[in-house]
Structure 1
Amino acid sequence: MVLLLSSQSYTGVQKQLSSRFLPSTQIINTLMWNFISWIIWGKMGDESSSFLRRSTELAVILLRNGQYDAVESLLIAVEENSRREKIFRSIQDTSGDWCLLQHLLGCCFLNQAQRGLRGTLKERKIEEAVRCFFRASSGECASEALQNLSNEAGFPHLSFRKTSDGKVSAAAWKLYYYQWAMQIFEQYNISEGACQFALAALEQVDEALNLKDGGDARDPFIESVTTMKGRLWANVFKFTLDLNLLNDAYCAIISNPDEESKYICLRRFIIVLYERGGVKVPF
């Protein structure tokens, strides 16, 4: 991987790597030095790229190749180094790089949790993933930074509805990001994580879909507040039912403003209660 990364700008090296023989020791040493120099100092004409940004670029490559332990070690080391140098606060406040780091760490922890872990260790990885995704969504320039990630890094590119000044509102960004996180946890059958992000998304709906922000009520692609809340509350109902939290599932039903969605959930709730012996039906 290091050779491939380092050889992108060296035509002669690429030819040697494509041959049947390994490069000489001198070439390998040169490539390693070029690679280390890029991580620490960047390349000529790349002054705008920070050490943190270059580290996250490497983390994306490692993540793409399933090297989750390496991603964790790399990004935690970078985060700790930033704290020691007392620049972490400024990074968090002024750059999307901090959000990238948190997002990639969250993806790493989530994949580690699915790699055969059990018990307390798995629960801890899931908790860390949840925490990282919440941090990633709340940082400065989060939407701009994370939208530049490739699909391979676990985040699809989407166009956001913008405000009248051409920016994406914080609420709209968080609403989308929380729904994305909810779907990822649902995909991995982690209902507790999915439920947390569904509830977090619900808190953003009113502000995110406020048509005063430049939306058009006639736009057929803009979901109504009632419809979106109904869909999210239905998800909360599903996740709490999966977790056997029957009281929470019932609260999700009565909180649902969409009558059709509420009826579907209530019907499912009665069926589940009957199957689990929670109700007695007289004949």
Structure 2
Amino acid sequence: MKLLRYGRAGQEKPGLLDAQGVLRDVSQLVADWCGAELAPEKLALLRDHQLEALPAVAAGERLGCPVARVGKIVCVGLNYADHAAETGAAAPAEPVLFMKAVTAIGGPADAVQIPPGAAKVDWEVELGIVIGSRATRVAEAQALEHVAGYVLANDVSERAWQMERGGTWDKGKSHDSFAPLGPWLVTADEVSDPHRIALWLEVNGRRMQNGNTSNFIFGVPKLISYISRFMTLEAGDVILTGTPAGVGLGQKPEPVFLKPGDVMRLGADGLGEQRLVCVAV
């Protein structure tokens, strides 16, 4: 299934796309796509429901982040060897982890802010993992049992704040609008192999990133198991799995960064597309 949330920011309702691509309101069945509603067994029950009988939603509604009340966003850095190389870093021996503030979350067509003083805002198309049930110190063999589904993500980053201001990466990753997610969450049963997903990103019509999750350094079970050793993962938490080569920082002969008016388009196999306009704030 493809789970969505639609409506004005802060007032979204739960929905899904039926087999014909019609957006249906599911608020009579679930309060929202969060917490226990994302458990694999709950999603399995919903699959058996007569979805075509649910109310259709009028065209043109804004889509928000497909997951409500995200508890935390755990990010993995340098998880593609080609991206590590373009940044001048060695491939890591263990996953590189950092956090992204949940206040950065936006929808798949919301504006991306270029904050005051920001001069090196960059793009990163990524596969996001949405956790469906609590995971604490899980083994790799059981890790996928805790996955509700997968989502398209853009790990927008201010590189100067990330790399030139001291401390950890988090402050370069967490400004409002720096975590567009969606358009939908594809449930795990419809993703046969999360390690065979092509993903891409364009800026102003120019293709900048072409990648595939087959080039992960650390795969999905490894990441879930590894992260769950250091923190409990709760239903609705999101893991961003890293980005392939082609970010602005790695462009030759000079880096290229986003400015107001730039338009990003990005997509991934089966996970839909985003269109994001950059605006000054």
- Is the TM-score greater than 0.5? no
Q: TM-score, normalised by structure 1?
A: 0.25
Q: TM-score, normalised by structure 2?
A: 0.26
| Greater length-normalized contact order (CA 8 Å, ≥ 6 residues apart) | 2
Report the structure number with the largest CA radius of gyration. Answer: 1
